[in-house]
A and B are shown apart, each in its own frame.
Chain A
Amino acid sequence: MKPEPTREGDGRRPGPGRRGPEGRGRGDASGEEIDRTSPAIEVNDLTVAYREQPVLWDVDVAFRHGALTAIVGPNGAGKTTLIQTILGLVRPAAGRIRILGQPVREGRRSVAYVPQRGSVDWDFPTSVLDVVVMGTYGRLGWFRRPGRREREAALEALAKVGMEAFAERQIRQLSGGQQQRVFLARALVQEAPIYLMDEPFQGVDARTERAIVEVLSDLRARGDTVIAVHHALQTVPEYFDDVVLLNVRRIASGPVPQVFTEENLRTCYGGRVPFLHAVAGPPGAGSPAPGAGSPVPGPGSSASSSGAAPSPRPGASARPADGSA
C-alpha cells in the first residue's frame, strides 16, 4: 500500500498552522489531516555508504503514526545515519524515503529534530531562549525575524521541560541534562507531527529523564509520532511502543512485545547483549515465527539482498520478525 500524498506539495507541515484549544483533533480526519493508516515515515531499500563502506544496507522500515519508536543497535549500527538520512542531512546511495507520503525535501518540514547534544558548540554566544526560538525559524522562512509570538512559544516550550527559569541564561552555563531539555524544547516549538531524537536520554540526570519521559507521553497523547535512537535496552519496554533493531541491516521492527525478544537482540548485538536479563517479553508472543519472511516489500527490487552482499554479522540477513502492520 502506497501512502497517498496527503497535501499538495507546498512544503509546509500538514495540518493547520497552529494548534487550537481542541488540539490537533486527529479524530476528525478532514482533508487537511494526516492519513493515519499509512506510516508516518516509510523507508524502503535504503542503503547509505560512507566511502564505499556501507553504513546502512538495504533497510526497510515503516514507522507507525502516533507511536513512540526506539531505534536500538550496537555502536556503528547506523542509527544516527538512519535519522540523518531521513532528515536529508546524509545522501543515500539507494532507496526511497517517504515522510507523510512526501519525499524528504518536502516531508522534512513535518519533522522536528533533536540532535545529539555534542553536535553543537555550547560556548556559542547566545541565550537559552534564543536557542529555543531557533525552532520557529522553519515556520518563519528566509529573512523574517522572530517576534513576540515566537518568543512566547519558546517560553511555553521551556516551561514544558521545566527550564523556564533558565530562559535568559547563557547556554554555556547549562549542565548536560539541561542542554538536552533545551534541545527538546527547541523541537517542541517546531510544532511538527513527527519528532526524530538522537539519543535524548544519553548521559542525562534523573530529573531530565523524567522530564523527557513526560514530554514523550504528552506527544503520544496528542497523536504525534516520536522516533528516538536509544541505548538503554532495559527501558525500551517501559518508554516505547515500537522498536527497530538495527545493525547495518534491519534485524527486526514492530511492537515491543513481539519484536523485543532475546533472540532478536542476540542477532542484533552478535551475542553480547547488554542488560539482557532485564528484557521482558517472551519470544514469539503472538508474532510470526522467526524466519517466517518479511511482509515488507523490497528484497526482490534490490540485487544486493543477500549472498553477494557482505553480511556484517552472521545471521543478520535473516529477518526474523516483522510486526509492522
Chain B
Amino acid sequence: MTAMEFEVQLLAVVVAVACALPGCFLVLRRMALLSDAISHSILLGIVLAFFWVQDLASPVLIVAAAATGVLTVALVEALHATRRVKEDAAIALVFPALFSIAVLLIARHAGDVHLDVDAVLLGEIAFAPLRRFEWNGVDLGPRSLWVMGIILLLNAAFLALVYKELKLSTFDAGLAAALGFSPVLLQYAFMSVVSVTAVGAFDAVGSILVVALMIAPPAAARLLTHRLPLLLLLSALIAAASALLGFHVALRLDASIAGCMAVATGVLFFLALLLAPERGALARILLRHRQRLEFAGLMLTIHLLNHEGTPRASEENRLGHLPEHLRWSRDFALRVARHVEREGLVIQGPGDRLELTPLGREAARHLMVR
C-alpha cells in the first residue's frame, strides 16, 4: 500500500464516520431527506463565496456553504409553516431552486475553473492527497484530511455536549420545550453541524454521495440495536467498513472510489435488512414459520383432546387422518406432529395413533377455557 492509498483510505473513513454520526439523529428525527436538500443547496453557497474570494481553498467557502445549508432548513420550515404544502413537498421545492441557481452560475461564469459538475456530484477523493497542507514548508498531509478530521472532532464534540438535549428534543419536543431546552435552537444548531459536515464531505465524495454516507449506515444500525449509544457506535463502524470496502472494490474495478463507497453502504444496509437478528427479513420469516408451527401444534392438541376417549378416537386421532380433518398437507401434518412430540405434548402410539401426554392435555384444556 502506497502512502497515497493509505491517505485516501484514512480520508474515506474519516468522511464516512463524520457523516454517520449526525446521520443517526437525522434518521431518528425523520429528516433523512433534508440531508439530500442540504447537500445540494450548499453548492450555491460555495459558488457565491468562490466568486467573492476567488479561491477554492478558502475557509470562507465552508462558512458560506454551511450558511446556505441552514438557510435551506429555514426556507423549508417557513414554507411548511404556511401549511399550504407538506414538509416533503417543501423540501422538494426549496433545494432544486437553490441547486439550479448554483449550476447556472457555474455554467455561465465558472467554466474555466475546475468547479465542474463531475466534481460536484462525485467529488474527487482519489486526488485529495495531491492538495497538501503545508506549514513553514513542512508537509502535514492532505488538506482535506485536516478539514474532515476537524469536522469529525466537531461533530463528536457537539454530540457529546448536547447528547441529552438532542435526545430529549428528538424523542419529545414538547417536553424539551416545557423544560426550557428550546427545540428550535437545537434544531438549528444541529442543522448547522449537518451543513458543515456536508460541505466538508462534499469536497471528498461529492454532493450526492454525502446522503448515502449520512443515511445508510445509521439506517442499517437502527435495524441492529435499540440503544442510542450503540446506534451511534454501530453507525460509525458500518460507515468505516463501507469506506474501506468501497475503496478496495474501486481499486479492483478501476471505478469511482466515492461511487463504490456509496454502493458499499447500500450493500451493508441490505445485509442488515436481511440478517438483523430481530428486525431482519430472515428473522421475521423464521419467526412467522415458528409461530405457524406452534399454532398448528396447539390446534392439534385441541383436536386430540376433543376426540380422546370417544368411540371414533382411534379413527380421528391418527396422523394419517390429520390432512383430511385439519386440511393440512401430509408434509405439514408430519412436521406439526414432530414439533408437538419434541415439545412433549404428544406421543406416537401404536400404528400412527397420536396420544396426548398429561402436559399436552393440560395445554389443550388451558386453551379451551380461555
Contacts and interface: CB of A to CB of B under 8 A. Distances in A.
Interface of A: 11, 51, 84, 87-89, 108-109, 111, 113, 115, 119-121, 124-127, 131, 134, 137-138, 140-143, 145-146, 170, 172, 186
A131 B162 contact: no
B162 A143 contact: yes
B172 A134 contact: yes
A115 B172 contact: yes
B181 A137 contact: yes
Interface residues of B, number: 25
Contact of B180 (A109, A131, A186): A109
B181 A124 contact: no
B165 A142 contact: yes
Contacts of A172: 226
15 contacts: A87-B174, A87-B177, A89-B178, A113-B178, A115-B175, A125-B222, A125-B226, A126-B171, A127-B227, A134-B175, A137-B165, A140-B164, A141-B180, A142-B165, A143-B161
A51 B180 contact: no
Contacts of A146: 164
Nearest to B172: A120
B277 to A, nearest CB: 14
A137 B174 contact: no
A37 B192 CA distance: 48
A108 B178 contact: yes
Among B165, B170, B175, B180, the most chain A Cβ lie within 10 Å of the Cβ of B175
B165 A125 contact: no
B167 interface: yes
B256 interface: no
B357 interface: no
B171 A120 contact: yes
Nearest to B163: A145
B250 interface: no
Q: Binding site of B, secondary structure by majority: helix, strand, loop or mixed?
A: helix
B179 A138 contact: yes
Contacts of B164: 137, 140, 143, 145-146
A224 to B, nearest CB: 17
Contacts of B180: 11, 108-109, 138, 141
Among B167, B179, B225, B226, the most chain A Cβ lie within 10 Å of the Cβ of B179
Among A11, A87, A137, A186, the most chain B Cβ lie within 10 Å of the Cβ of A137
Contacts of A127: 227
Given A127-B227, A138-B179, A113 B83 contact: no
Given A124-B28, A125-B225, A89 B172 contact: no
Given A120-B171, A121-B171, A125-B231, A111 B178 contact: yes
B174 A115 contact: yes
A125 B28 contact: yes
Contacts of A108: 178, 180
A231 to B, nearest CB: 20
Given A89-B177, A108-B180, A145-B164, 6 more contacts: A89-B174, A89-B178, A124-B28, A125-B28, A138-B179, A143-B161
A45 B12 CA distance: 60
A55 to B, nearest CB: 15
B175 A113 contact: yes
B171 A87 contact: no
The 8 closest A-B pairs by CB, nearest first: A138-B179, A170-B226, A125-B226, A87-B178, A120-B172, A124-B171, A113-B178, A125-B228
A109 B169 CA distance: 17
A82 B165 CA distance: 26
Nearest to A170: B226
Interface string B300-333: 0000000000000000000000000000000000
Contacts of B4: none
Contacts of B28: 124-125
A142 B186 CA distance: 11
Given A89-B174, A119-B174, A126 B167 contact: yes
A134 B28 CA distance: 17
A182 to B, nearest CB: 12
Given A51-B83, A124-B170, A170-B226, A88 B178 contact: yes
Interface in B60-92: 83
B168 interface: yes
A251 to B, nearest CB: 27
Contact of A113 (B165, B168, B174, B228): B174
Contacts of A109: 179-180
A137 B168 contact: yes
Interface string B124-153: 000000000000000000000000000000
B121 to A, nearest CB: 33
Nearest to A120: B172
Nearest to A51: B83
Contact of B227 (A11, A126, A137): A126
Contacts of A88: 177-178
A5 B73 CA distance: 40
Nearest to A123: B226
Contacts of B179: 109, 137-138
